[in-house]
Amino acid sequence: MLEVKRVQFLHFGAQCPWQAWMKEQAREAAGLLGADFETVDVTGRPELAARHNMFFPFLTVINGLLRFPAPATARRLVELARDGVSHCVQLPERMSRAVQGDRLRRLTPRAVAQACSVCVPAGFPPDGQRLKQAWAEAMALRVKGGDLGLLLFDGGRPVAALEHLPSGLVPYPLPRKEPSLGFITCVYSRGNGLDYRPQVMETFLRQAHRHGYGEVQVVAGRTAPHPNGPAAFFIRHGFRELASLGPIVLEDGYDQMVLLGRETGRRR
């Protein structure tokens, strides 16, 4: 059994509303394991993100080796630390039936609460949303047009969202960072067997030139839906695989991360 001496929680500011909750789970797991705990915002520490191959809004690092990027309870983190993961994720693609909403709007800081309602459950602690709101307000001041993506509604209810940033604002170890290269930080849909993501993706790609993007990149799991996966979703939208980024440990096993990209047909 692995002797756990240190648990680190790395995060890209409050980019994800799960971040605050997950930080407390990592802290509790460290206590259960009798390990030291440290939390670090990699926004100003891209070298640390590179050291841990971090392409996610948060990452729990155990002993500097085991890296877990998804939401999990403290007890599940303890199990992963003690038992490890030995099998590859084999998941059918979820949300396979593509559907459309009836209204798209810009994802501005004012719309953050509605966007969060798509990816976090009802009754979720409000700290994550509050921190996400402040993060979005700060980021909106640094991006062209002041918006961070798109939010889709259906019958008055938010059902899908896509968030993006210029690659230079992302601390992840991307091969290139330049003003004309956009990065999709997250794209997600409400579940229930429906997938609203194609509509927001297609609209974003048509409008990407408005943000100054000539190319867009994203990191996805090859077969798993985390992060932003599976990769086949993006390939169907004209992306191509640019690089393999190594393994990703998930609750049910491990998968491979891939970097995908496509040109946007930027208008001059």
Q: What pLDDT score does 245 carry?
A: 94
Structural domain count of the chain:
2
Q: What pLDDT score does 124 carry?
A: 82
CA atoms of 53 and 169, how far apart (whole Å): 17
142 and 237 belong to one structural domain: yes
Q: What pLDDT score does 257 carry?
A: 93
* 248 in any annotated domain: yes
Question: How many CA atoms are closer than 13 Å to the CA of 20, on its beta-carbon side?
Answer: 14
27 and 159 belong to one structural domain: no
pLDDT, averaged in runs of 10, over the chain (268 residues): 87 96 96 96 94 95 90 92 72 67 95 93 86 96 92 96 97 96 95 88 95 96 85 96 90 86 73
Q: What is the pLDDT of residues 120-179, one digit of tens each?
A: 888 888 899 999 999 999 999 999 888 899 999 999 999 999 999 999 999 999 999 999
Cα–chain center distance at 122: 20
Q: Which two tokens stand for residue 19?
A: 């971040």
Domain that holds residue 145: 97-263
Q: Distance from first CA to last CA of the chain, Å, rounded?
A: 58
109 and 79 belong to one structural domain: no
Q: What pLDDT score does 267 carry?
A: 42
132 and 256 belong to one structural domain: yes
52 and 101 belong to one structural domain: no
User: The domain spanning residue 150 has which CATH number?
Assistant: 3.40.630.30
Last residue of a domain, one of 35, 60, 83: 83
| pTM score over 0.85 | yes
**Phi, then psi, of 251 in degrees rounded to 5:** -60, -35
* 268 in any annotated domain: no
Are 66 and 29 in contact by the 8 Å Cβ rule? The answer is: no
CA atoms of 125 and 33, how far apart (whole Å): 25
